[in-house]
Every structure is written in structure tokens, then in C-alpha cells.
Chain A
Amino acid sequence: MASTATVAAPHAPAVAHYEPTGLWSWITTVDHKRIGILYGVTAFLWFLVAGVEALMIRVQLFVPNNHFVTAETYNSLFTMHALTMIFGALMPLTAAFFNFIVPLQIGARDVAFPRLNALSYWLFLFGSLFLNFGWVLKAAPDSGWFAYAPITTLPYSPGMHMDFYVLGLQVLGLSSIIASLNFIITIINLRAPGMRLMRMPIFTWMTLITSVLIVTAMAVFTIAVTELMFDRLFGTNFYNTVSAGADPLLWQHLFWMFGHPEVYILIIPIMGMISEVLPTFSRKPLFGYNVMVFSGVLIGWLGWGVWSHHMFATGMGPIADSFFSLSTMLIAIPTGIKIFNWLGTLYGGSIRFTTAMLFAVAFIAMFTIGGISGVMHASAPSDLQQSDTYFIVAHIHYVFFGGTVLGLWAALYYWYPKVFGRLLDEKLGQFHFWSTFVGMNLTFFPMHFVGMFGMPRRTWTYGPEQGFTAYNQAETVGAFIIALGTLVFAINLFTAWKRGRIAGPNPWGAATLEWSIPSPPPAYNFREIPVVHSRMPLWEDDPTKEAGIPHGRVEEETEQVTIAGTQVAAVRDVHDENKMSAHDLGIHLPPPSFWPIVLAAGISAIFIGLIFRQVPATSAWHNAWYLMFAGIATTVVSIYAWAFEPGH
């Protein structure tokens, strides 16, 4: 199926009847597609939760001296907004695409280690639930997502607030490391015949780079957090500046060594997604593929050498400041290359402004704004003015919302039909796009100004005489416009799943392998593993790809593919073949397993138990720390059961 101009019958979604359904089948699944959907649904729910937290922050800041929430709650709100967005929504949303799309793009039947994949999802689920459990006990983390020690050590942050941070993020970090390990091996080792590294779709490339960053950076974070955990739980002195003479910069160094690569972990996959969407809707191959790959590698590599630009305000001295200023500015070069290559892809293409494309184009513009303000505070003297003001908030939101979120929505509109076999509604999509686009600029652009006027970030409220009011009110209005768009989006996602237009295998006329199989793909993905001869296997001898002819279009009722009214190909009915199970076709798929969820529960229980060690005997939770031993026992048992499980 390497090259096909024929398109499958769009009568009905390619529902895989033979697949087991029901809750148990989802709990025990090791299918990368189902795990991808689980990741996506969970992460989208966390996105909504974190969005509500953001709205509460905006309501609080709507008028000066507001008392909508208390200062303590406000601290928890901005901390949990960041943590939930980063670790609960954005990273897992990219992971959802890694899971669902990457094996399809490289022509594989599954990831290299299907059960590990399931394990990383369950760890993510339990970890994110655990992290948010702090809200239930009125002890959500409240010291910022960067958790600067020594503020986060026991004397300055008593109670369980930061315990949820140190223990919850351990679980989430473990989940990310395991997932990324899996993707690295999958991409290196499970490519279809003929798919050389330089023939891989760019999204797969960016996934590889991201995974390498996660595997390395998360390890540093694990240690930073472990040391903080030991400080809080066992009284070690890593960040004890008072009686042991510890250096407050140690945490900052270790945290930002992870924290800066983390920024790239959140943006590099998006760059890959955009690089898939733009060529498809421009009907042109990606401009400068090789350079795109190398600049991606370069961004990942340089991302490791810039961590201290988050610490200019700590006074590291002129040598360190100069070095990190320069290295940070260097990153603008590969990033700029990417932006120009995206423009080059658009140039001269026959562009179709679908919702996915609108989001992708908006991504380029918004991400560039975020990049430019990034270069502004790459300069140490400039950064000293901007540090801890709303200017930084504006910058990160242009990168994370204007970059990551817009890119993720582009990817969702683009790949949703592959995942569920139905198209998202374009009218609702247009509404979603414009409200998000207008809303985000209204929300985040004024932050540049209030930041420059000196409004500090993470501050509960402000005075009426400070001149911030009008800006903040505009921002709050903008936030609610985004919320409206997101609501419409959520409705779109749900209704399209039930009633959307049938997509067919390749509704966009895209070029990569995932579009050569039915939507949704059968459990075994590819009936025969394709042989790849080029970067764009589906455009190889695609008559629709002739110069001057617009892309092909599948007529819903006519069983034919037409270009400008001329039939170019008959529709092949793949529905029958779809009903065949992997077993019928003689394809070996790993059997389902419940050990991943058990192991994940065991590992999580160890950390959950640790949090309750100091709860007073009067509390209902005071015996919960015994959970730790149950967790250790479960972990050991399930590792052995896992290792000796037949069929894997």
C-alpha cells in the first residue's frame, strides 16, 4: 500500500467490529491507538481543568483589590494552572499524538514495548490525579511550578502543599521517561522497510528529538525533586540554607537544567505537527526538509546550554551572564530557519484554509511573537527589567498558547478524522479558531504592556492607582473569549465523534503513511507492512499532485475521487477487509495485559503513601501511609508477573 491514488469508500467509518469493547478492554489494552486516545481524552480534560483555573485567576484580577479568591488560593491556582497545563495537558496531548500517529507514520504495527506504553499512560493518569488531589485536602501546591527552594522546604512551606508537588511529579516524570524511552526505540527500530532516517515524516523526527530531551532532562528533574523530597520528608540539607549553609542556587540550576529543555519538549513536537499540516494544505512538500530536521536537532541540543538565562536576576556574574545570553540568542537561528521554511512551504502553494490550516498559520505568527520577546529577555540587562513581571507571562503564553496550544489544535483538526473516522465540523471549527485567536491576543498581548509598566507576576491583586486596571479587564475578557471557543471546540469534538462526516482514509489528500490505511485504523494498522520509497509515499504517483491541479476530493456519495469534476480514481471498498481481525490475517499482536495498570497503581501507591506519613492521628488520613508498603509489594509482584507473562 505504499502508493495509492484510490481512496476508500466513505460510506461508513471503518468501524473495527472485531475489536473487543468495554471497560475491561480499555483497562488492559496495549494497543498504541487506544492508549493514544486515552492520553488525548485525559489530557483534554486536564486542559479544561487548568483552563478553569486560569479563568479564576483572570476573574480575581478583573478589578483592583478583588477578593474573589484568597491570596492562598491564588497561589495554588497559578501553581496548579502551570503544573496541570504542562504535565497534565500539553505534554500528554503531544504524547497522545506520539502514540497514535508515530507508529502509523513509520509503518509499524505497534510501539516497541506495548505494555510499557500502557504503563506510562496509567502512571500519567494516577500521577495527575494524585497531583490534583491536593485540592481535595485544601493543600494544592502553592509555590509556583518552578518550586524555588528554599521557599519550598519545610520551614517555609509547611503542610502538604509541596509534598503533592514533589511526589506527584515523581510519578509524572517516571511516566514521561518510560513513554519516551519507548518512542525512541520505536522510531529507531520499527520503521517500515525503506524508511530511512531522512525519509521519516518530520513529525516523527521531532518526536524522536523530544523523546531524547525527555529521557535526559527528566532524569535531572527526578533528582532535583528527589532531593527536595528528601529535604521535606527526611530532613536532609540539600536546600537548607539556614542551618546547613546550602546554596539556594542549586535548586535553580538543577530545575532549569530540566526546565529549559522542558520548554523545547513542549514546542518541538508542535513544530513537527505544523510541518505536517502546512505541506498537506499547501499541496507542496515541506520546504527544506533536511534543514528542518537539522535545525530541530540543533534546537534540542542548544536547549541544554541555556538554562541559566532563567537565573540572570540571581547575579551569576558577567561571564556566566554573557555566556548564557549568547547561547540563548543562538537558538533564534535554528528557530528562525524553521519559521522561514514554513513560509517557504506556503509560498506558491495551492492553499486551503481549513481549520487545521488556520491554526497552523496562526501558530507561525503567534510563535514568532513569542520567540521575539524571548530574544528580548535573552539579553541579561533587558531581562533584569522584565524578570518576574507580566512581560514574562506574556512571553511564555505566546510560546505555550500561541505556539503549543494552537499547534495542538491544528494537529487535532488534522488527525481527528484518522483517529475517529469522522471529520470535525468546519463551521464550528472556524468559530473555534477565530474566538481562540482573537481571545488569546486580547488576553496575552496587553500583558506585555502591564509587564513593562511593572506589574509583578504571581501577585494576588493590585491597586486601582497603579494603572493596570484597563489592561487586566481586557485580558479577562480575552480569557473568556478563549473559554467560549474552547467550549465550542469541546462540543465539536464530542458531536463529531457521534455524528461527524465520514472521513475516509485520506480526507486531506496528505502524503504520509498513516493516511494509506482506513480511518480509524484496524488494530493491526497495516495489513501488509508497506515498503517506502520516498518521503511522501502517498504523493508518489498521485494524479492529484500534478502541477496546477487542486487536490483530490472524496465525494461522499459517489464512490469516486474527483478532481475539478473529473473522475480520477474509483473508490476501493476496504470495508470487507476491515472486518477481518488480526487473527484472521495471521498477524501477531501482543495480547492485552492488566499488569501495566497494576504496576502503575503499585508505583503510585508508594508515592501516595509517603505523603501521609506526618498526618496527625486525629485525621482520617493518618493511617494511609501504610499504603506505601502495599505499593512496594504490588510493584514487586507485578514486575515479576510482567516479566513472565506469557505471550509478550
Chain B
Amino acid sequence: MSAHAASPAHIDTSTGLDSRKMAFWTFIGSECLLFGSLIATYMAYKGRSINPPYPHDVVINGKAFHGILNIPLTSFSTFILLMSSVAMVFALWNVQRGNKPWDAFWLFMTALGGSIFLGCQVFEFTHFYHEGLTLRSNLFGSTFYVLTGFHGAHVTVGIIYLITLGVMALRGRIGPERTLNVEIAGLYWHFVDVIWIVIFPLVYLIR
């Protein structure tokens, strides 16, 4: 988020650890509770919607309802998001070694992966909207859109963050001495990935 390398904090700290990185881990800790509460809401209301559309195929009173979730599409976007995490690791690896064009390349690849994931989500949301699932339609609609939307918002912030870093790397403003900036961005990106690793099975795979 910031480039305050001259912060008095990080010159010499009690633990020898960088304050910004520690702050970021603390922030991630806070985010755990943030997403935890959203997931808790989703789980508390799982299977409690009293009108369709339902997430999975279900038979109620002898009447079959078609599940709305598109598992193949989301599996694809999940693969892409995981791949973007791999790209992020490569980006950091190249930044640490000052491999000039490659650091920016992998940063942009990561952002690209995130963008594809986000594109899939936008497609999914519009598709669901046309199928009749809105924020207002039922408990599933509310909990699903807010949970995955919150994650999507995090992805969006991450993409902007990565593109910013990528442009800085292109301009030569990110070298091995500024590794930490990329490392923190990496922590953010991997955390967003980890959250999806939790959301994907809970929302999509487990009925």
C-alpha cells in the first residue's frame, strides 16, 4: 500500500522484522475474521432458502429444481486463480533477483489471471441475474452474492495493486532492494487465493 521505506519503524525494530510486513500479517488476521463472518453467515443459511433458485439440483415435494451454480465455469476460474498465485511466486522470485523484464512480466501475468477470474465472476453474476437470482430473491442470493462479491472486490483491489507494481517495475522503480513491496503484494494475493480455496468447496462443491 505504501512505500515508506524511510519510516523510522523499519530501520531497526525490536524483533528485527519489518513493521510493514508484520502489519500486513495482522491485517490478514483481521481479514480472517472478516471473511470468517461472511462464511459463517453463508453456512448458517445454507439450505434454508424457501424459494428457488437453489444452488444445487434439488427435489422438493417431488418437484425437481435445477441447480443454478455452473461448476465447470467456476472450476475453470478457480484453476486460473491458482495459476495466478503461481505467477505471483515467480514474480517475487524474479524481483528478488532483479531479472528485469521478467519481474514486470510475471506481475502482469498475475494481474491477468486475476482479471480472467474476475471476468468469469462478472459473467457468472450476470448469468445468475438473468436466471432470477438476485440479492433480494432468497437467502442463497443474499449470502452468495455478498460473500463472493466481497471476495471479488478483494480481487479487484489486488489487480489494481499488481498493475501498479508492474508499471513501477517496468519503470525500474522496483529492484531487489524493494522486494518487500512485492512480497507484501504477494501476501495479499495469496491470501485472496486462500480465501477462494475455502469458498470454492463450501459454496460450490459441498451440497
| B14 and A245 form a contact (CB under 8 A) | no
| B142 and A223 form a contact (CB under 8 A) | no
Spot the interface stretch: A71-79, A130-138, A184-192.
A184-192
Q: How far is the CB of A593 from chain B (nearest CB, A)?
A: 10
A interface residues, tally (CB under 8 Å): 53
Beyond A190-B14, A643-B1, 10 additional contacts (C-beta under 8 Å) are A113-B19, A114-B7, A190-B13, A219-B34, A234-B135, A247-B44, A590-B4, A590-B8, A645-B4, A648-B7
Query: Which chain B residues numbered 10 to 62 have a C-beta less than 8 Å away from chain A?
Result: 13-15, 17, 19, 22-23, 26-27, 29-34, 36-38, 40-41, 44-45, 48-50
| A237 and B8 form a contact (CB under 8 A) | no
Query: Which chain A residues numbered 217 to 252 have a C-beta less than 8 Å away from chain B?
Result: 217-220, 222-224, 226-227, 230, 234-238, 244-247, 250
A315 to B30 Cα, complex, angstroms: 31
Contacts of A224 in B (CB 8 A): 37
**If A220-B37, A227-B41 touch, does A189 touch B30 (CB 8 Å cutoff)?**
no
| A235 and B26 form a contact (CB under 8 A) | no
**If A112-B23, A185-B9, A643-B3 touch, does A246 touch B139 (CB 8 Å cutoff)?**
yes
Question: Of B9, B17, B45, B49, which one neighbours A247 at CB under 8 angstroms?
Answer: B45
A-B contacts, 24 of them at CB < 8 A, read A110-B8, A113-B4, A115-B2, A181-B30, A182-B23, A188-B14, A189-B14, A195-B14, A215-B29, A216-B33, A219-B32, A219-B37, A220-B34, A220-B37, A222-B37, A230-B135, A230-B146, A237-B142, A238-B143, A245-B50, A254-B37, A589-B8, A590-B6, A643-B1
Contacts of B15 in A (CB 8 A): 188-189
Contacts of B121 in A (CB 8 A): none
| A219 and B9 form a contact (CB under 8 A) | no
A26 at the interface (CB under 8 A from B): no
Chain A residues proximal to chain B, CB less than 8 Å: 109-110, 112-115, 177, 181-182, 184-186, 188-191, 195, 215-220, 222-224, 226-227, 230, 234-238, 244-247, 250, 253-254, 257, 588-590, 639-640, 642-645, 647-648
**If A189-B15, A590-B7 touch, does A236 touch B135 (CB 8 Å cutoff)?**
yes
Question: Of A219, A226, A253, which one neighbours B33 at CB under 8 angstroms?
Answer: A219
Q: How far is the CB of A10 from chain B (nearest CB, A)?
A: 31
| A235 and B33 form a contact (CB under 8 A) | no
Q: How far is the CB of A254 from chain B (nearest CB, A)?
A: 6
Contacts of B114 in A (CB 8 A): none
| A190 and B44 form a contact (CB under 8 A) | no
Contacts of A590 in B (CB 8 A): 4, 6-8
| A185 and B19 form a contact (CB under 8 A) | yes
| B26 and A215 form a contact (CB under 8 A) | yes
Chain B interface residue count: which class?
Answer: 35 or more
| A216 and B138 form a contact (CB under 8 A) | no
With both beta carbons as reference points, the residue of chain B lying nearest to A588 in the complex is identified as B8
Contacts of A236 in B (CB 8 A): 135-136, 141-142, 145-146
A304 to B36 Cα, complex, angstroms: 14
Q: How far is the CB of B10 from chain A (nearest CB, A)?
A: 8
Report, nearest first, the 9 A-B pairs whose CB atoms are least far apart: A223-B37, A219-B33, A236-B142, A648-B4, A189-B13, A112-B9, A191-B14, A219-B34, A235-B136
Contacts of A216 in B (CB 8 A): 29-30, 33
Contacts of A227 in B (CB 8 A): 41, 146
With both beta carbons as reference points, the residue of chain A lying nearest to B135 in the complex is identified as A236
Q: How far is the CB of A176 from chain B (nearest CB, A)?
A: 11
Q: How far is the CB of B190 from chain A (nearest CB, A)?
A: 19
| B6 and A113 form a contact (CB under 8 A) | no
| B139 and A184 form a contact (CB under 8 A) | no
With both beta carbons as reference points, the residue of chain A lying nearest to B5 in the complex is identified as A648
A254 to B141 Cα, complex, angstroms: 20
Question: Of B23, B34, B50, B136, which one neighbours A223 at CB under 8 angstroms?
Answer: B34
